[in-house]
């Protein structure tokens, strides 16, 4: 703890450091993302000129709508290229885990128990350090854990919490998670708490809030159920 009198200074610098840290980390990877941001801005400008009417449609009580199918090439070509981390000894380029987009699930109106969600996972061995020869890596470059490639099929898994159990059904298609759904809910409380978790089926517990701060046991149970199901898909 700082001495009396210098508290204020330390306090202010803590806030400053937290902002500076995010900036430093983001900037280190920003070189790779800048072109994408510029592309976005150009695209946004074009869109504004061509199509001034927002295409979002929202009906009362139904927050999420299936979105228009998109050609896979669009997102495949925009795979994450986030990070180029500076180290005192040079630069090492690291490719973050591949991120998948899956189609948004359809809203299950009035059927919260039959919720359906999309839960993408890194599909294939996560890679790393695709560093060009010129680049010098730190002594032992960190390697993200390889994610398993899943076998196609439908898998069930249980997750437990002190309030009860939740069964998840996970569908793997072409090695990727196509959907993750609550199959059974045996908690002391209703599954309504969880229903706001899978956002595509956001039959939210309280219509008065957009998000809830604070983890829930039930949410963890669903999470572990998904992980359990995935363990069978190896």
Measured CA distances, 135 to 89, 91, 128, 163 (Å)? 9, 6, 14, 51
User: Is 41 a binder of other proteins (CB under 8 A)?
Assistant: yes
List 5, 54, 110, 132, residue binding other proteins (CB under 8 A): 54
Binding mask 139-178 for other proteins (x = CB under 8 A): xxxxxxx-x--------------xx---------------
Distance (Å, whole) CA 223 – CA 65:
24
37 or 111: CB nearest other proteins: 37
Instruction: Judge whether 150 and 171 are in contact, CB under 8 Å.
Output: no
68 sits near other proteins (criterion: CB under 8 A): yes
When binding is defined by CB under 8 A, the residue of 31, 64, 124, 175 that contacts other proteins is 64
Position 5 contacts other proteins (CB under 8 A): no
Binding residue for other proteins (CB under 8 A) from 166, 223, 225, 229? Answer: 223
Which residues, at least 6 apart from 178, have a Cβ–Cβ distance to it below 8 Å?
102, 118, 171, 172
| Six token digits for residue 5 | 């009198």
Minimum CB separation of residue 130 from other proteins in Å reads: 13
Residue selected from 107, 166, 172, 197 as contacting other proteins according to rule CB under 8 A: 197
The yes or no reply on residue 182 touching other proteins (CB under 8 A) is: no
66 part of the interface to other proteins, by CB under 8 A: no
CB of 91 to other proteins, least distance (A): 10
Rounded Cα distance between 55 and 65, Å, is 12
Can residue 195 be called a binding residue for other proteins (CB under 8 A)?
no
Quick check: 102 and 123 in contact, CB under 8 A?
Answer: no
Beta-carbon neighbour count of residue 223 at 10 Å? 19
- 36 makes contact with other proteins (CB under 8 A): yes
Closest CA to 113 of 215, 201, 200: 201
């Amino acid at each position: 703890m700082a001495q009396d009198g210098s508290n204020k200074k330390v306090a202010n610098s803590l806030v400053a450091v937290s902002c500076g840290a995010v900036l430093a980390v983001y900037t280190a990877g920003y070189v790779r993302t800048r072109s994408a941001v510029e592309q976005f801005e150009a695209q946004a400008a074009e869109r504004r000129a061509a199509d001034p009417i927002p295409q979002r449609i929202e009906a009362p009580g139904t927050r999420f709508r299936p979105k228009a199918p998109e050609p896979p090439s669009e997102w495949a070509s925009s795979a994450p290229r986030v990070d180029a981390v500076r180290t005192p000894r040079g630069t090492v380029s690291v490719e973050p885990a591949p991120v998948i987009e899956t189609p948004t699930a359809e809203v299950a109106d009035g059927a919260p128990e039959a919720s359906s969600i999309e839960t993408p996972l890194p599909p294939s061995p996560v890679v790393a350090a695709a560093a060009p020869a010129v680049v010098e890596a730190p002594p032992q470059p960190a390697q993200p854990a390889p994610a398993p490639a899943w076998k196609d099929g439908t898998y069930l898994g249980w997750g437990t919490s002190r309030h009860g159990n939740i069964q998840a059904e996970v569908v793997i298609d072409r090695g990727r998670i196509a959907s993750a759904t609550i199959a059974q809910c045996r908690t002391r409380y209703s599954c309504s708490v969880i229903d706001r978790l899978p956002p595509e089926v956001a039959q939210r517990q309280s219509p008065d809030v957009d998000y809830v701060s604070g983890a829930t046991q039930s949410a963890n149970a669903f999470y572990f159920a998904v992980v359990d199901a995935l363990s069978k898909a190896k």
